[in-house]
Chains A and B, each alone.
Chain A
Amino acid sequence: MSVQFFLQQCLIGLTNGALIALVALGYTMVYGIIGLINFAHGDLIMLGACLALSIVTALGLAAAGPTATWLGIAMLVVVCGLFCGGLNLAVDRIVYKPLRTAPKLAPLVSAIGVSFIFMNIGLFWIGPADRSFPELLPAANLLPGEGLQFTWKDLLVVLVVVPLMVALSLLVKSTRLGKAMRAVSQDATAAALVGIDVDRVIAATFFIGGFLGGAASVIYGLYINTIGFQMGFQNGLYAFTAAVLGGIGSIPGAVVGGIVIGLVRALSSAYVGERWTGAIVFAILIVILVFRPEGLLGRRTREKV
């Protein structure tokens, strides 16, 4: 039944898109605040997934009962979030901060270097072969009837991504830190001149972006069920594309871009064929950027007078 098939693909696309959006936020937040494309972000998430796998294995979560499983997942999200947030913050301190006043190319190349370092740590951690991430959640369909499939795994994505995004938008909109983040992203010098500790705000941004990535890494493991040391590159690329598509620097843009990319990926895999997915996603990106260089929700950058 074709309508049902289409709806099913959309559902898959939305769930995948939510996951991409969570990663895209890490790119867009860091870009928004210091204008850096953090190429290491995808590999940071790969390391988060390695940690999640190690914890799941060490605790034997695959054999745990339902309550222990859900508690375990909540714990994984927090621990991997803190791990990736802390690691991102440390990289900023050690690598990017000394290059704050250097030409933009220097931190960019350093980010590529960090990406390689992370990838090699991942290789050392889980080995060269792809590893299967245990199925922790029952495969039962939550929707009535035989048609559409929406399983516990899909629900998990919604349960993690939606609250995190709501929390992030509240933080940016109404807290003192959020206001400081917006001020720094608009004019760092002016922000310093009203008494904002710019370095601390940047550090907080790296931490928050990393935390979201860490949460995404757990969902990735539980949802896709395969991780590998090279997973960061491709997933990072899709998430970065989502951020650019939505308008890099824009938080709602990253969410919209992630969902659009998720839908396009699911639909093109279903109707055109898996092998064309990459080409179609990037063709759409190019077309959109030709007509709207600032992305879907981005601002048109104006020359300063």
Chain B
Amino acid sequence: MPILEVRELEAGYGPIQALHRVSITVEEGELVAIIGANGAGKTTLLMAISGIVPARGGAVLFRGQKITGRQPHEVVRLGIGHSPEGRRIFPRLTVRENLELGGFAQVDRGQVGRDIDEACGLFPILGDRMGQLGGTLSGGEQQMLALGRALVGRPRLLLLDEPSLGLAPLVVAKIFEVIAGLSARGIAVVLVEQNARAALRLAARGYVLETGRITLTGSGSSLAADPRIRDAYLGE
């Protein structure tokens, strides 16, 4: 059974239909990339999976269980982490408080402490910045904090929205290295990226989203080799 199954999902804002019968599946521990241009509906897709944007049709199944129509905090508690576009860390909370909130739904406080230590193991800079306010971090550090915060929630599935946007190449490399390691820890990932080349290199499979529709799907390497993709998204 796939960990995530999105079936003919429809979603939008007011008169604008942002997703048209979008279907994707993600297997346990699999890294799946969603690529597409600005405004194609990538963020809306993740927001609809999390329940922030209500679905107008279709269904989202998490481990076989229908989660469409649930409140976002309930979806998170089922084991779906979401690191949103623009990082959205809490700027006037400390790094430690940000990480602690990642484990908000955890009952076992000791476990949260260990998970915070683990996140700091992945991104040692966070450990040095524990007492600082989130808003004082650099963009790269904020992205690490956003990822760390999502991981402290112990997700089975992690939705990552543009984790490399606007970051220096060295930081991007570090972030992608951590993302690549998530599969090994059994965490499935849906990676939305403008940096299609890097995303397809990491991903087992990918989907191409164009104006709210899935137009192409395949393994990461086959998509990267597809002339249409190379032309439109890889700039070759």
Contacts and interface: CB of A to CB of B under 8 A. Distances in A.
A190 B89 contact: yes
Contacts of A130: none
Contacts of A299: 92
A189 interface: yes
Contact of B76 (A179, A186, A192): A192
A176 B150 CA distance: 18
Q: Give the one of B72, B89, B105 with max A CB within 10 A.
A: B72
B76 A193 contact: yes
Contacts of A186: 90-93
B82 A193 contact: yes
A187 B86 CA distance: 12
B153 interface: yes
Contacts, number: 66
B76 A195 contact: yes
B134 to A, nearest CB: 9
Contacts of B73: 192, 195-198
B72 A193 contact: yes
Given A179-B97, A194-B149, A194-B153, A189 B52 contact: yes
B50 A195 contact: no
B17 interface: no
A196 B89 contact: no
A202 interface: no
A297 B202 CA distance: 47
Given A183-B101, A196-B104, A197-B71, A190 B77 contact: no
Given A190-B89, A198-B72, 20 more contacts: A182-B97, A183-B90, A186-B91, A186-B92, A187-B90, A189-B52, A190-B84, A190-B88, A192-B71, A192-B73, A193-B72, A194-B76, A194-B104, A194-B153, A195-B77, A195-B105, A196-B104, A197-B71, A199-B71, A299-B92
14 contacts: A179-B100, A179-B101, A180-B104, A182-B97, A186-B91, A186-B92, A189-B52, A189-B88, A191-B90, A192-B71, A193-B52, A194-B149, A195-B105, A198-B73
Interface of B: 50, 52, 71-73, 76-77, 82, 84, 88-93, 97, 100-102, 104-105, 149-150, 153
